[in-house]
Amino acid sequence: GSEGWAKPSGPPPGGLQRDWQPAPGATPGQLQWHSSATASGDLSPRGRTFVKRYYDGRLSLITEHEVRWSGEHRYAVRFSGPELSPADGVGFVLHRRLPCPRNIQKIHSTFVSTRGFLCCRTGQNVDRQTVGLPNLEIGRLIVVTVNVDEAWIRFEVEGGDGVVARAQAPMDTSATPDGKAVGFFCAVVKHESVGLAFQVEEEAAAEK
């Protein structure tokens, strides 16, 4: 299921970009949403949980609080709320600065859609592939692992029967300025009252 995906490029430089204000009471090193998410909704005191409150029916792109320049990173999340839209999803944006551009059609990303398609967006073009992932569902665990140095991404999605399906693919770095897979975790939410929370390692491990 990896036909049509670009091959990985060379390793990016090390280091992290930090251009955010940590939420009060946040734990150092803990995954948090970037403060720009408050333009579309509410953040919990520690920044782990986002709930959309504004712009119902319009796509809101929310991201983590750090740019990842190297290494392997794991994100465990769960959606909450009434229901997901077909446009919702989670993935990784190839971009060097935060906050992320608001126009989704101008970013380069690899993501899994609500319908379980593995997608690569390059500007306005989206390459969708069927890889056997179940639909994303409210309350179900979704784990995304990204290796920035080797430019690959893996999705693990819990289905309605509790079975976890996995899919992995190279990230398409062909449209980035220097061919490097620098970027950050992201999610797209369309409807009000839909939320998304980072799970701490203990919570995620207990559910796997």
Q: Once rounded to an integer, what is the mean pLDDT over residues 10-14? A: 32
Which residues of 44-177 form beta strands (DSSP E)?
49-52, 60-63, 66-68, 72-80, 89-94, 108-113, 117-122, 125-130, 141-147, 152-158, 164-170
The chain-wide mean pLDDT, for the chain, equals 82
Tell me which DSSP letter residue 171 carries: -
- Per the document, the length of the chain is 208
pLDDT tens track for 171-191 = 988 767 777 789 999 999 999
What stretch of H or E contains 198?
strand 195-198
How high is the pLDDT of residue 29? Answer: 55
Query: pLDDT tens for residues 18-46?
Result: 333 333 443 445 899 999 999 999 999 99
Alpha-carbon span 139 to 154, nearest angstrom? 20
pLDDT beyond 90 at 47: yes
pLDDT band at 141 (very low <50, low <70, confident <90, very high): very high
pTM of the model: 0.81
68-123 pLDDT per residue, tens: 999 999 999 999 999 999 999 999 999 999 998 877 777 889 999 999 999 988 77
pLDDT at position 202 is 47
Distances (CA, A) of 202 to 3, 81, 82, 208: 35, 23, 26, 10
pLDDT tops 80 at residue 140: yes
